[in-house]
Structure 1
Amino acid sequence: MSTFLPKDVQAGLDAARRQAARKRNRLRVEVDGTRHPVLRTWDNGFSVDPEQVPLLRGLVDLYDGAVHLRRCLIVAAAEEDGETRYDYKRMTEISTEQPLDFARAENAPVALLAHDTPE
């Protein structure tokens, strides 16, 4: 049995694989107010479809649907197998809490309740 596939069949299979990855992935990268779909991510980077996304550089924001995940400084690493790969030079996770400028004690009260005294 031969494992050789004609070029047009292989191209069709590759296109179908990329389309399926786009549909199941909610990750988006935002640059200058424009969001582009992300094909996949790993610890130190992500990849996009070069046919849909122009070459990216600099500071970008990574979203999962409407949730802002991280702000990244990126550099293009390679273009292989129908995807452009980017590496993080710097990545900052987005926090939902305000930063504190002091150390909070573990047993500190959450709020102060006024003692209601008749006058």
Structure 2
Amino acid sequence: MTDFLPKEVLEGLELARRRDLKKKNRLRVRVGEETYPILRSWETGFALDRENTEHLRGLVDVYDGARHLYQALIVAAREDGHEMSFDFKRATQHREGPPLDYDRPDDAPVGLLPR
């Protein structure tokens, strides 16, 4: 079917598909003050729009909406049409509190009440 469509129509369809992917996905990559929407993600990496992200590498933060998911060290892997794929060298899940150096029992008190 795509053999019969003019080049301009195919480009318009691709542009609409990319715009739709950006709107549907809540995942974002944040580098300093810059934020980029993630088009696709998988266990070992993710894909971004290639326009302004070819230079992207190093330490980034990945968010799902406002929730911080993890901090990752990334490298550019490959170009695929309008997408740039990145692979994780490491990805550390974000925790709300500091990590514990010991195993905390399930029945441990959460806090102390004053008398």
Give the gaps of 5 or more residues in structure 2.
none
Q: Secondary structure, in 3 states, of the residue corresponding to 2:53?
A: coil
Q: Deviations over 1:38-87 (max 9, x none)?
A: 11111111111112434201111111111111111101011112100000
2:70 counterpart of 1:51 = no
Q: Which has the larger radius of gyration?
A: 1
Paired residues in the alignment total 114
**What residue is the counterpart of 2:102 in the other structure?**
102
Distance in 2 between the 1:52 and 1:110 partners? 47
Q: Aligned letter for 1:13?
A: L
Question: Sequence identity of aligned pairs in percent?
Answer: 50
Give the gaps of 5 or more residues in structure 1.
none
**What residue is the counterpart of 2:24 in the other structure?**
24
Q: Aligned letter for 2:80?
A: E
**Which has the larger displacement, 86-95 or 100-109?**
100-109
**What residue is the counterpart of 2:92 in the other structure?**
92
- The 3 A distance-change label for structure 1 pair 8 and 32 is same
Q: Deviations over 1:85-105 (max 9, x none)?
A: 000011101112332122222
Does the 8 A contact of 2:75 with 2:89 survive in 1? yes
Return the TM-score normalized by structure 1. 0.83
**What residue is the counterpart of 1:34 in the other structure?**
34
Distance in 2 between the 1:55 and 1:100 partners? 36
Q: Deviations over 1:4-33 (max 9, x none)?
A: 132222111111100000111121111122
The alignment yields a C-alpha RMSD, in angstroms, of 1.8
Return the TM-score normalized by structure 2. 0.86
